[in-house]
Amino acid sequence: MLESVIYKTAATATGGRDGTASFADSDATFGLAPPKEFGGNGNGMNPEQLFAAGYAACFLSALKHVAGEQKIAVPADATADVAVAIGPRVGGGFGLDVAIDVSLPGMDPAQAEALIETAHQVCPYSNATRGNIDITPRLKG
Ranges of CATH 3.30.300.20 domains, the chain? 47-139
Rg (the chain; Cα; Å): 17
- According to the CATH classification, is domain 1-45 in 2.20.25.10? yes
Question: What fold characterizes domain 47-139?
Answer: GMP Synthetase; Chain A, domain 3 (3.30.300)
Do you know the residue count of the chain? Answer: 141
The pTM is what?
A: 0.94
Q: In the chain, which ranges are continuous DSSP H helix?
A: 47-69, 109-122, 124-129
Predicted pLDDT at 141: 77
Coil, helix or strand at residue 133: coil
Q: What is the pLDDT of residues 70-88, one digit of tens each?
A: 999 999 999 999 999 999 9
